[in-house]
Amino acid sequence: MTKIYKPILFIYWGILTFLALLPAPQSELLFPFIDKVVHFLSFLILIFLFDKSFKKPITLKTLGLLFCYGIFIELVQSLTITRSPDTLDLLADALGLLVYFVLAPKFKNRRETL
């Protein structure tokens, strides 16, 4: 099962990086903080795909690696003309990672007991 998730992970990660460097859309007019929701969901999906792609459980080291990716994206955005780094984006990234890290084991254990 992990074989199908690995290519999806790397394709998703590439698309995520590409989209993070495109000029920022002005969608906040429709929904305040929509970009924070997108950051949260993007990193929640990223850690989910990471978890499904490898047989080993997610560790704090993995969590740190994925958070460093978020920092990297913010640093690269600071070098572009149309984007700027935002600490709230990093907070949303971290929350997406942490929600999965905390809740996923509970769902796995629940499935095993059923």
SS in 3 state form for 66-102? HHHHHHHHHHHHHCCCCCCCCHHHHHHHHHHHHHHHH
CB 87 within 8 A of CB 75: no
The band of 67, judged by pLDDT with boundaries at 50, 70 and 90, is very high
pLDDT for the residue 112: 53
Does the pLDDT at position 48 exceed 70?
yes
DSSP state of 60: H
pLDDT for the residue 114: 47
pLDDT, one tens digit per residue, over 87-102 is 999 999 999 999 999 9
Does the pLDDT at position 75 exceed 70?
yes
Greater model confidence, 103 or 33: 103
Average pLDDT over the chain, rounded to an integer: 87
pTM strictly above 0.75? yes
Domain positions in the chain are: 2-113
